[in-house]
Structure 1
């Protein structure tokens, strides 16, 4: 495995945990739309990292796709308004690690979230100067493998690695032809990885010594 020229990070479960904020946004939307649905933090945690359409189908199987889309848009409006105040939990070592890694690699964030959410996260976490670019599923509703290739083409990346916390992240990395770096502290489990780290500090140390 050659040394990477860049690292592309998943966001939720890899850089931070904002499930409490997301849960608040979902339940606020249900309440405003006078729907009986409610979601618990534990339930939503299992859906983190999924593409929007898949997550809404699992949360609201009784509703039409059109209605689910309407609710999802409202949820994301709430999410955008509350992230700057509520934020989330930045995992230990992330900010310091990104600072160090940015001195040696181009860093990117690519997530299955709505448009605008990654930028709100970057601003909340104070990591803008370390991140070269970001891309969200909500921009084009395409899978991560497709969007990884878009980033690669845009920035002339030859040997990136994708860092994530779910089996889906691993699958999408493979489809894009990238090595997959699995972080075990997030929301998922998988045996499909090239490298594995139990915390962000160890990840940082590994890539800084290459």
Structure 2
């Protein structure tokens, strides 16, 4: 194994409280949406692309209305994350520091453009990662983005670490092993290895 590609939400951190504050600040100004979102609402969207999230959270709106509200929420979300960050899982930086001495590290997330950069800006973890990708930049699926990172960086033996069924499917699409973060947001029945905390990666590798 020469490299580790990480999912972000539910794997490295839990950003929901910050994201919830950002989205509800936009929703309060929209007369078409009658109630604010809850943490449970967001937990059910983890791992989905932005268009899917809009369809799930705002089913009564038209496609154009959903796109507009999701875009507006995404823009505000960046500023909230840059100022407040999210909840890193225990000892994330120590684990990344140790892993980066042996392996090349990357992030592939189903987020909008600018989200990973905002994560980096607050938590100062970009020094441990050599590259990242998301559908906000490429309009590709997670599996395609994983393959893109593999090809772009000439990786020969990577693994993917994530917490949802979508992460499993993306890893399988890319033809690489999947490590299931059981502490995250999803329920996955198939995996190559499982970890109960981010720190357990040190035992796996």
> What TM-score range do you get, normalising by the shorter chain?
over 0.9
Gaps in structure 1 of 5+ consecutive residues: none
SS at match of 1:54: helix
SS at match of 1:32: coil
* Equivalent in the alignment of 2:22: 25
Distance across 1 between alignment mates of 2:9 and 2:197? 15
- 1:129 equivalent among 127, 143, 150: 127
- CA contact 1:17–1:91 (8 Å) conserved in 2: yes
- Greater shift after overlay, 31-40 or 172-181? 31-40
- List aligned pairs for 1:136-151, cutoff 5 A: 136-151=134-149
The Cα of 1:206 is off from its aligned counterpart by: 2.1
Distance across 2 between alignment mates of 1:134 and 1:204? 22
- 1:104 equivalent among 102, 118, 130: 102
The Cα of 1:25 is off from its aligned counterpart by: 1.6
Q: TM-score, normalised by structure 2?
A: 0.96
* Equivalent in the alignment of 1:56: 54
Q: C-alpha root-mean-square deviation of aligned residues, in Å? A: 1.1
- Number of residue pairs matched? 204
Matched, 1:7 2:4: yes
- 2:37 equivalent among 31, 39, 44: 39
Q: TM-score, normalised by structure 1?
A: 0.94
